[in-house]
Amino acid sequence: MTDSSSIRQAADRIIKAYQTSTPDAPVREFIDDGDIDGAYAVQEHVTDWRLDEGARLVGRKIGLTSVVVQKQLGVDQPDYGMLFDDMAIPDGEEIPTSRVMQPRVEAEVAYVMEKDLKFDRPTNTEVISAIAYAVPAIEVVGSRVSNWDITILDTVADNASSGLFVLGNDKVKVDGFDGRMCGMVVENRGDPVSVGAGAACLGHPINAVRWLAEVMAQRGRPLSAGDIVMSGALGPMVPVTAGEVYEARISGLGSVRAVFGA
């Protein structure tokens, strides 16, 4: 297991990147090979720092929901990160490109919780009954690691490579759209730059939420009423170009835009 001093060093490197808005070297050198729990311990240190600095926890994000990407990073499960209030961007509001280091966008289904989910092993039925509604969403992912030179240890430690998130304004009940078969397209200047479907997210986005609810309960940060859950990408990430607009459309859910300043 990674010792506490190394965990602190890794956290300090990520915090420095936050403070300077400059990506830094990977942190995996501080974490024992394969020690996912050690990487989450780094993430928890950074989370505590963010909370001490005045950020407010408003939800979670799920990453690595694609089996192909999991195999690329040598893991067999998704990962998670924290969503803070200062990461939320209204639909269509201009985003300074400096807000996120090395930004990329991906389209997702976001869920807003209506009830607490504190069970260690929730069923899909319990997860569905705990959700208030779904909205289309764009996650602006970013990395505090230079040149996206990441392994699973780096991305977990770096809050699952989180950046910002944009939620659509149309609320849809879970039974109001087909979460598995819903098609997704991200367009830039009318051209499709990413396509996918709900099935790309662990077979169904609800499966990802159930996984998250279970892990969060086990780790002492259970999902609560009002939490936002970014359930995972429905298609490939798209590198961001300054001055461009990326619009995501998800069938049955509507659309959402991420607008980047020049």
Q: Which of 145, 162, 155, 147 minimizes the C-alpha distance to 100? A: 162
pLDDT of residue 23: 97
In angstroms, the CA 234 to CA 222 distance is 24
Name the one residue in this structure whose structure tokens are 């039925």.
125
Domains of the chain: 57-260 (3.90.850.10)
Query: What spatial distance separates the first Cα and last Cα of the chain, rounded to whole Å?
Result: 45
Q: Which of 164, 142, 237, 166 minimizes the C-alpha distance to 196? A: 237
The pTM for the full model equals: 0.95
pLDDT of residue 72: 66
Residues in the chain: 262
Beta strands in 142-253 (DSSP E): 164-167, 183-188, 191-197, 228-233, 238-239, 245-250
- 3-state secondary structure (DSSP) of residue 115: coil
Beta strands in 114-243 (DSSP E): 131-141, 164-167, 183-188, 191-197, 228-233, 238-239
In angstroms, the CA 243 to CA 226 distance is 33
pLDDT of residue 70: 74
pLDDT of residue 198: 96
Q: Could you say which DSSP state residue 244 is in?
A: -
pLDDT of residue 69: 73
221 Cβ contact partners less than 8 Å away, ≥ 6 residues apart: none
Q: Which of 76, 63, 57, 37 minimizes the C-alpha distance to 218? A: 37
List residues bridging with 166 in a β-sheet: 89, 138
Q: What is the mean pLDDT of each run of 10 residues along the chain (262 residues)?
A: 95 97 97 96 98 98 84 80 98 95 96 94 96 98 95 95 96 96 97 96 96 94 97 94 98 98 93
